[in-house]
């Protein structure tokens, strides 16, 4: 493991954190994790340091106990749409604005950073083809926001972990944003529905929902459905995954790491057959 940076993951048991941990171990990076204390009957990964840091000094002490004395680079907890490039509505807008404020603090304080812009996780967007209150892709009818022709960027949570560790080990991502928009997964919802129809050998009834109705539904639904619908609206109507990158401050993951074998949308949908 000579030459590999040590990686400390805060929050390693969540939907993304656990994938970053396993990708880091697989890549050969010395890997440490920091979690809060949990009940004794909960099984913990071997690499976990249990802690409940309440103060800055306690947090620093826990870092040092893990062998961390100098933070070379910080990856803030974003892992979604680019918070500096969005036209999201509430309740998503407030979350994005808070994350953007964190970016500004990081930059103002001169903290070395990398931002990960992953866009749409398959677990939230594709397991049900962006439908509310179902957990698998529909086989009869589907509601499509807008006209279904806006490009979205989809990625599995496991691949987010892989690309995160690639970015950690790449000095060219220092003080830049890494954008995960994979060629085979940069698709419109109409294109994804077409893939699904071919797999099940059946055409779905398609109900196209105008933006005005989507916005009304977001206002009337309760959490978490209003939040999910606002995420879908951000990508599928407002096109928040469609933009040009600036090479001076952005890195396109598929171009920087062409050898990564990622799960395509087509492959992901096979598990539901």
Cβ atoms of residues 265 and 196 within 8 Å: no
Is residue 99 part of the annotated active site? The answer reads yes
Joined together, the tokens standing for residue 134 give 């179902």
| DSSP single-letter state for residue 86 | -
CA 200 remoteness from chain centre: 28
**Residue 187: exposed, middle, or buried by beta-carbon count in 10 A (0-12, 13-18, 19+)?**
buried
Cβ atoms of residues 168 and 28 within 8 Å: no
Q: Which residues contact 148 (CB under 8 A, 6 or more apart)?
A: 188, 189, 190, 193, 206, 208, 236
Please tell me the number of Cα atoms within 13 Å of 254 on its side-chain side.
Answer: 15
Joined together, the tokens standing for residue 199 give 């797999």
In the set 99, 202, 213, 249, the catalytic residue is 99
Best CA proximity match to 163, nearest among 240, 246, 30, 259: 259
Best CA proximity match to 183, nearest among 135, 102, 106, 254: 254
d(CA 115, CA 103): 9
Instruction: Give the C-alpha distances (Å, rounded to integers) separating 32 from 23, 44, 65, 143, 250.
Output: 12, 13, 10, 43, 28
Active site members: 99
């Amino acid at each position: 493991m000579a030459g590999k940076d040590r990686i400390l993951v805060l929050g390693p048991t969540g939907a993304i954190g656990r994938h970053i941990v396993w990708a880091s171990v697989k890549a050969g990076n010395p890997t440490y994790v920091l979690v809060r204390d949990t009940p004794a009957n909960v099984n913990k990964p071997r690499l976990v340091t249990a802690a409940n840091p309440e103060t800055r000094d306690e947090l620093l002490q826990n870092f040092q106990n893990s062998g961390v004395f100098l933070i070379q680079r910080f990856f803030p907890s974003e892992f979604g749409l680019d918070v500096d490039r969005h036209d999201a509505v509430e309740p998503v807008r407030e979350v994005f604005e808070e994350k953007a404020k964190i970016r500004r603090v990081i930059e103002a304080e001169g903290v070395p950073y990398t931002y990960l812009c992953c866009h749409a996780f398959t677990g939230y967007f594709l397991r049900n083809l962006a439908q509310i209150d179902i957990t698998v892709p529909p086989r009869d009818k589907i509601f499509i926001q807008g006209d279904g022709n806006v490009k979205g960027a989809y990625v599995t949570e496991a691949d987010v972990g892989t690309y995160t560790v690639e970015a950690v080990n790449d000095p060219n991502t220092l003080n830049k944003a890494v954008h995960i928009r994979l060629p085979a997964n940069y698709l419109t919802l109409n294109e994804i529905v077409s893939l699904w129809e071919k797999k099940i050998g059946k055409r779905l009834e398609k109900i196209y929902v105008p933006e005005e109705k989507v916005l009304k539904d977001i206002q009337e639904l309760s959490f978490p459905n209003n939040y999910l619908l606002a995420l879908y609206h951000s990508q599928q109507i407002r096109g928040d995954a469609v933009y040009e990158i600036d090479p001076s401050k952005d890195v396109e993951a598929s171009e920087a790491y062409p050898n990564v074998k990622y799960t395509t949308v087509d492959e992901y949908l096979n598990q539901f057959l």
